[in-house]
Amino acid sequence: MRKVAYVLMVVVISAFIIKPVKAETKVSWGGLFYSYTFFWQNQDFNKNTEDSDNFTYMHADLHALADFGGGVKAFIKAGGWGEFGMHPIWGTKMDGGADPQVGVLEAYAEIDNLFDLPVSVKVGKFNQLYGDGAVLFDGGEDGILGLKATLGAGPISLDLLYDRLAEAGGIEEVGAMDTLIDDDLDLLGAYGTFSMGEMLSLSPYVFMRMHDASGLKDHPMWLGARMGISPVNFATLTLEFTMMGGKQDFDTGTDINYKGKHLLAKLGANIPNMPVSFGGAYVMFSGDDATTTEDNEEYFAAAENPYTFGFYKWWPGFGPAHLMTTGYGFACVAPWNPTMSNLNVINGYLGFAMNNFDVRLDFFNYSRNWVASGEDKPLGNEFAVHAHYSYKGLIDVGAAVGYWMPGDRMKAELGLTDDDADNLLGGFVYISKSF
């Protein structure tokens, strides 16, 4: 069925391109391809074991935007993404799996200036990213099914969101006559922005995730604000603070209050009249205090999604070696991702750019945010480099590599002695082209 759907989408896109439905309809189309080959050596930090690997992750899509006039638009993107490596004859990978299939990545309708008011509405499946993704990011591949209304007047705008993060029940329950239907995972959000050009932007926000199961109502909330300040044209300071609220409300037993916190402080600057940049950052995702029973102090994102850190290396996450310790290499801020939760990060960087080439050197210090009394916090230090070249301004190629030296906390969590522990090398090379 997915192959049939893809063929139909290609036919529809082609029809729009060749012959618009109406004379006044304007159709623009494009696509995106990128390929990343990830690699690592000594992911377990143990010099007595041999663990190294590499794999290729690819994305390819075609998309079309139809502008019908009057502020009415429709967009569709068809493609696939993920790990590739299927044998062309066997038809599977070594583990029996297949390459990713083509599907609908985005599909939505949008109306601008609804009833001639400063309101726009978008409904369907679409990409979503706020800030660096500390609260919400779809990952950049598949969009999120939802509804967004944007109210804007001058320097002030407000996004109102309703997202279906995950369906439960649904079409299979139609006609089933079941008396108990599983609850969906939904997200409500409001994200405001006040902007004074490049000098100042302020974005307060609130989100609430909802999931009601038998005997439990789980309603975590996120309340925060993000601010960007650029007092001079060569430096930018970004601050963001988020605190969690809400609770897990059990019909029987002790309720759990969400009290996680996130903090970002980031400074970036360019030296005037020189191709040199520098900066630093502090990022904190709080950890759960094991001495409390009624509170959960661990911070996690609403969609348990990747943290972009500005996509500084053309991929989410912190250092490239650290990335290779996160689930699937996506750097998701989630309880199931131990090297992205209960985490403090200190970063410093120096960059150089000239013509179509740029390179950035980074230092990362990783530590636990919360540990029991008397325990060590340091997870270690990483030195990293990212280089990027735009060939004739037409296609982008690059590479990132990091070298992570484990700290006492990392050794303790992995059960390693100083004699057994060794460093982790990790990174990737990539090529990307949009059209």
pTM above 0.85, yes or no: yes
Q: What was the pLDDT predicted at 182?
A: 81
Name the token pair of 227.
Answer: 């601010």
Residue 177, pLDDT above cutoff 90: no
Q: What was the pLDDT predicted at 17?
A: 47
Q: Give the domain range for residue 8.
A: 1-434
Residue 171, pLDDT above cutoff 50: yes
Residue 3: which pLDDT band, with cuts at 50, 70 and 90?
very low
Asked if 229 and 196 count as a contact pair (C-beta separation under 8 A), the reply is: no
Distance set, CA 25 to CA 29, 65, 81 (Å) = 13, 10, 30
Tell me the C-alpha distance between 236 and 270, whole Å. Answer: 9
Provide DSSP, 48-81. TS--EEEEEEEEEEEEEEEEEETTEEEEEEEEEE
Tell me the C-alpha distance between 226 and 132, whole Å. Answer: 10
Q: Is the dihedral of CA 128, 130, 134, 139 positive or negative?
A: positive
Beta bridge partners of 113: none
Please, what's the b/e burial string for 151-167 (b: 16 or more CB within 10 A of its CB; e: otherwise)? ebeeeebbbbbebbbee
Beta bridge partners of 222: 207, 244
Q: Is 299 exposed, middle or buried (0-12, 13-18, 19+ CB in 10 A)?
A: buried
Average pLDDT of the residues in 135-152: 97
Whole-number mean pLDDT of the chain?
A: 93
Q: What is the pLDDT of residues 341-392, one digit of tens each?
A: 999 999 999 999 999 999 999 999 999 999 999 999 999 999 999 999 999 9
Number of separate domains in the chain: 1
Q: What is the pLDDT of residues 91-142, one digit of tens each?
A: 999 999 999 999 999 999 999 999 999 999 999 999 999 999 999 999 999 9
The count of residues in the chain is: 435
Beta bridge partners of 60: 33, 80
Q: CATH number, domain at 361?
A: 2.40.160.100
Tell me the C-alpha distance between 80 and 61, whole Å. Answer: 7
Q: What was the pLDDT predicted at 14?
A: 47
Asked if 307 and 131 count as a contact pair (C-beta separation under 8 A), the reply is: no
The residue type at 149: A
The closest alpha carbon to 367, from 296, 283, 259, belongs to 283
Residue 302: which pLDDT band, with cuts at 50, 70 and 90?
very high
Tell me the C-alpha distance between 72 and 110, whole Å. Answer: 6
Q: Which positions ≥6 away from 391 have C-beta within 8 Å?
A: 356, 397
Q: What was the pLDDT predicted at 169?
A: 83
Tell me which H or E stretch contains 320: helix 320-323
Percentage of the residues of the chain whose pLDDT score is greater than 90:
86
Residue 18: which pLDDT band, with cuts at 50, 70 and 90?
very low
Q: What is the pLDDT of residues 219-266, one digit of tens each?
A: 999 999 999 999 888 999 999 999 999 999 998 889 999 999 999 999
